[in-house]
């Protein structure tokens, strides 16, 4: 039996949540993957399963979030999370590693079927020779975004942590229906224009079942500082993320050129943009994101600095035209459209490709939080969902001052040798050891 306390009984899905719900359908149909986020923390002390279970099972917020179930309702009605006090808490499974510290593949391929189970779960992994533990937090992307997930985990595991001020975003006044419809239509046309084919992609149609893999690339503190200086030198100023994206785009373009010289096309890269105020950790539930859509001309993909400057210029133009807010309006406007028609609209501009690759910068992980459940945190890694096609997702962030990258990829899109080359290219460009 769960305890609800003062948490809401129902939470309507916002526009971004509904968008991600449709992506979940597309992912499942194309690769049997779900739109699931995984956040893994490495702790320097062994955490006892019984103590972890007791700590979480007595936490009202954990009880509440594990008792939420998705209710989609009828066509043209809003989907929502509904609290169900009759469902029990899922068991926290314990896993033991004998000779490796790597997260088991099975935990990075959790399905989380929203029709049958909770949208949040926890697994405990014991490292060899009592050297510490991994705590694997998994949640469906429709429930919350990366920042929301981190904030929730911080609250669950930090003793004396104050309760979040805002679990769910407050409703704001909306524009009149006709004005919202006009904005949505103009935004749709912008997306069609930006997504005009052909586009560069490493995806190749094949009958081989796509298999999801992850690789990480980490930099030391001195290297991270060197990368920041290189970002400024390449024209990014204090917007280092533009330099990370430019470096990634150029590295992917080089892989494509190696496969088929002189066939590089423009790139389409949608970038999630956190709508929270700077430094804010709440609200927790619901994705507080919009998107920026960049189209990178093929002639710029040979030069990182040119690509960085172009990204900065496009960002300024998009912000001045209020493009991110218009996308929020469009997503909100589309919430009542039946899923089948929604998914047809998503795939139409690029005939199912969606993007050249996916990219995000999730910022500083667990900033000012270095302990959880009484143990020091040695490592924190986001393992992102990966839509196929394009089958490649790059996530940059920083943990304890060090830049790190997690790459999610499908083996049918890029092979191990090409991933090795990609990481060498990225390291070289990010550190400024490239003549380019």
Residues β-bridged to residue 68: 83
Averaged pLDDT for residues 371-381 = 95
- Which numeric CATH code is attached to 10-157? 3.30.559.10
Query: Worst-scoring range by mean pLDDT, 101-105, 223-227, 270-274?
Result: 101-105
Q: Is residue 212 scored above 60 in pLDDT?
A: yes
Residue 436's pLDDT band (cuts 50, 70, 90) = very low
Predicted local confidence at residue 323, as pLDDT: 97
pLDDT tens digits for 22-62? 999 999 999 999 999 999 999 999 999 999 999 999 999 99
Same fold: 10-157 with 197-321+348-362+389-430: yes
Q: Where do the domains of the chain lie?
A: 10-157, 197-321+348-362+389-430
Q: What is the pLDDT of residues 125-184, one digit of tens each?
A: 999 998 999 999 999 999 999 999 999 999 999 876 678 879 999 887 789 999 999 999
Asked if residue 66 lies in contact with residue 89, where contact means CB atoms within 8 angstroms, the answer is yes
Q: Give start and end residues of each alpha helix (H) in 276-322.
A: 304-320
Alpha carbons 113 and 100: distance in angstroms, whole number = 29
Q: How far apart are the C-alpha atoms of 120 and 133, rounded to whole Å? A: 20
Look up the pTM and report it: 0.95
Q: Give the span between the Cα atoms of 330 and 341, in whole angstroms.
A: 15
Judged against a pLDDT cut of 70, whether residue 1 lies above it is answered with no
Instruction: Count CB-CB contacts under 10 A for residue 148.
Output: 25
Mean pLDDT of 315-325: 97
pLDDT, average across residues 391-399: 97
The class that CATH gives domain 197-321+348-362+389-430 is alpha beta
């Amino acid at each position: 039996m769960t305890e609800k306390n003062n948490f809401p009984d129902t939470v309507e899905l916002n526009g971004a949540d509904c968008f991600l719900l449709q992506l979940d359908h597309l992912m499942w149909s194309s690769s049997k993957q779900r739109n699931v986020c995984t956040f893994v923390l490495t702790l320097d002390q062994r955490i006892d399963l019984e103590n972890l279970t007791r700590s979480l099972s007595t936490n009202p917020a954990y009880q509440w979030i594990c008792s939420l179930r998705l209710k989609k309702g009828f066509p043209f009605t809003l989907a929502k999370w509904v609290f169900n006090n009759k469902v029990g808490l899922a068991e926290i499974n314990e896993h033991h590693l004998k000779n490796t510290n790597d997260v088991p593949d099975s935990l990075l391929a959790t399905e989380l079927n929203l029709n049958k189970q909770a949208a949040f779960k926890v697994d405990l992994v014991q490292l060899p020779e009592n050297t510490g533990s991994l705590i694997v937090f998994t949640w469906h992307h429709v429930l919350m975004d990366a920042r929301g997930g981190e904030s929730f985990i911080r609250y669950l595991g930090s003793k004396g942590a104050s309760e979040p001020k805002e679990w769910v975003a407050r409703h704001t006044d909306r524009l009149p229906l006709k004005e919202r419809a006009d904005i949505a239509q103009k935004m749709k046309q912008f997306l069609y224009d930006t997504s005009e084919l052909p586009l560069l992609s490493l995806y190749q149609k094949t009958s081989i079942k796509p298999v999801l893999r992850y690789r990480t690339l980490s930099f030391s503190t001195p290297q991270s500082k060197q990368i920041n200086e290189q970002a400024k030198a390449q024209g990014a100023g204090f917007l280092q993320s533009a330099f990370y994206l430019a470096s990634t785009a150029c590295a992917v373009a080089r892989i494509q050129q190696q496969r088929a010289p002189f066939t590089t096309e423009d790139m389409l890269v949608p970038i999630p943009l956190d709508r929270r105020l700077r430094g804010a950790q709440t609200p927790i539930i619901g994705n507080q994101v919009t998107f920026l859509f960049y189209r990178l001309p093929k002639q710029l993909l040979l030069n990182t600095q040119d690509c960085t400057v172009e990204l900065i210029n496009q960002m300024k133009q998009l912000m001045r035209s209020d493009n991110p807010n218009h996308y929020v309006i469009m997503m909100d406007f589309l919430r009542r459209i039946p899923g089948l028609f929604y998914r047809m609209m998503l795939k139409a501009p690029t005939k199912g490709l969606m993007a050249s690759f996916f990219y995000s910068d999730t910022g500083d992980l667990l900033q000012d939080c270095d302990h959880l459940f009484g143990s020091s945190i040695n490592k924190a890694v986001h393992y992102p969902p990966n839509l196929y096609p394009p089958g490649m997702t790059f996530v940059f962030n920083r943990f304890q001052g060090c830049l790190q990258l997690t790459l999610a990829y499908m083996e049918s899109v890029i092979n191990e040798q090409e991933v090795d080359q990609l990481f060498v290219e990225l390291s070289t460009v990010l550190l400024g050891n490239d003549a380019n």
